[in-house]
Amino acid sequence: MRVPVAGAFDSGAERIVAVSDEEIAEAMLLYFCATHNVVEGAGAAPLAALMQEKDLMAGRRVALIASGGNVDTGWFRQVLEGATPVPA
């Protein structure tokens, strides 16, 4: 599990949502299937959080920034196959 920088909690954010590696992999796959864009894990984390809170956010306008396509080919292949890559 990755741990956020302590200062992130003092940023004025309304809330911080923790997402799992599985949720991030699912969001990466959704980005690719829906938009044909490759998004690295960090860039897919906001979508993973939105997917986690879909009931809370239903009916609201939401904007996400999809950034970063710096993902290893083998890693992304596993995501496309529906797996959750495990760091070596």
Q: What does the pLDDT look like over 7-57, one tens digit per residue?
A: 777 777 778 899 999 999 999 999 999 999 999 999 999 999 999 999 999
Closest residue by Cα to residue 75 from 65, 83, 85: 85
Report how many domains make up the chain: 1
Q: Is residue 14 part of a domain?
A: no
Q: Is residue 87 part of a domain?
A: no
pLDDT beyond 60 at 79: yes
Determine the length of the chain: 88
Given a contact cutoff of 8 angstroms between Cβ atoms, the answer to whether 82 and 31 are in contact is no
Q: Is residue 71 part of a domain?
A: yes
Q: Rg for the chain (alpha carbons), in Å?
A: 14
Whole-angstrom distance, CA of residue 40 vs CA of residue 58 = 25
pLDDT of residue 40: 94
Domain that holds residue 33: 19-80
Q: Is residue 9 part of a domain?
A: no
For residues 83-87, average pLDDT: 88
Cα 58 to chain centroid, rounded: 18
pLDDT of residue 1: 54
Q: Is residue 36 part of a domain?
A: yes
Q: Is residue 34 part of a domain?
A: yes
Q: Is residue 48 part of a domain?
A: yes
Q: Is residue 70 part of a domain?
A: yes
